[in-house]
A and B are shown apart, each in its own frame.
Chain A
Amino acid sequence: MSVIKRVSMIFKAKANKALDKVEDPRETLDYSYQRQLELLTKVRRGVADVATSRKRVELQINQLELQSGKLEDQGRKALAGGREDLAREALTRRSGVQGQINDLRAQYASLQAEEEKLTIASQRLQAKVDAFRTRKETIKATYTAAEAQTRIGEAVSGISEEMGDVGMAIQRAEDKTAQMQARAGAIDELLASGALEDFTGTGQQDDIQAELDRMSSSSDVEIEIQRLRGEIGQAAPAQIEGAPGTAGRAATAGQASQSGQAAPPATPPAASAGQPPAAGEGE
């Protein structure tokens, strides 16, 4: 037998099975109606659950995007300070964060689609339940139990099928959401632990930022040294012969870092020729 026929037959059999135990056909109407109302509540709750998951993923995307922006910024600063190694590290971590973001975006789209499907399913079920209620009252008012049987059978089997379908849609949405909840939980933990801030490092602190801060503070010291030299230099100009224009450069330290001359931080302070790396602070 074909796929469609088997699916159809078994689906219908199952959809109608729940009603078999009701003896009086007219009771079937009330019993079915009760279950319809329960299912309506369930499908609406399903929509809300999927929406909650979707919002959670959205929040995580935003957090990771901030993280990605921060790493890019760190990369830029490291490069400006002549630390290509540090810049590479920052950009490598950024690419990891970006991978997470892409994954979450796919999840977001899938949850959004699920939410739409369930919303439409709930509207369709609502329309059918309303129609059923009207039909139910008509049947009860107009026909005797014996006469009503056929009409009840028609109305009930139509809506039972819808209920089976909606019930499955909710089940599928729940399964999908549960999978994503588990992954979202893992990312929440990562975000909370700070592991994403320190993607490959071992410490709890953001080691790239620590290094940048170290570069920045040593360059602050440089600027101070140069300033003091400048002051002293007014009394004894011969002291700064190795660094022409040092005093002026120190005054515009912010721009000086963009001139591209690499100055390894390990260089002894006096020999750094007034080339301070990025003077800006991290955040």
Chain B
Amino acid sequence: MSQTQTAVTAKSAGLSASHQASEFLTFRLGQEEYGIEILKVQEIRCYEAVTAIANAPDFIKGVVNLRGIIVPIVDMRIKFNLGQASYDEFTVVIILNVASRVVGMVVDGVSDVIQLAGDQVRAAPDFSSNSFDTNYITGLGTADDRMLILIDIERLMCSPDMALFDGGTVQ
């Protein structure tokens, strides 16, 4: 049983303080491309060996063993009704490090890491999306011809309707 671990390397050389440009990991969900802060990404894995949790919401697939720690896996495609949720050897799981917790999310595919300068990001219009609540969208980025929906992934993962974390649970 192989484990493909692609650690996102130091392409992001500590740019968090920079206002000028930020680095984003871009990935695909359904028809759209999304971007999240690279610093929240711990690693990228393939999808395997998930242990289901009884009576959990359907978008929470279960938990996996990540080198000795137990990590919950969320399928974003199911949660936000985006396209077909299929699982094969190409299915990708992005392991996130948010709010001192480790969580994995299943996506359709990972694109690349890009830098977006301030002028490449526009505020998101107040469109009602059938996917993410616009509360979690921090802006729209353009790079080449692509439009990226930039998400505050930490806020999203910690929100109550993701049902991932207990409110007030000791970390």
Q: Do chains A and B stick together as partners? A: no
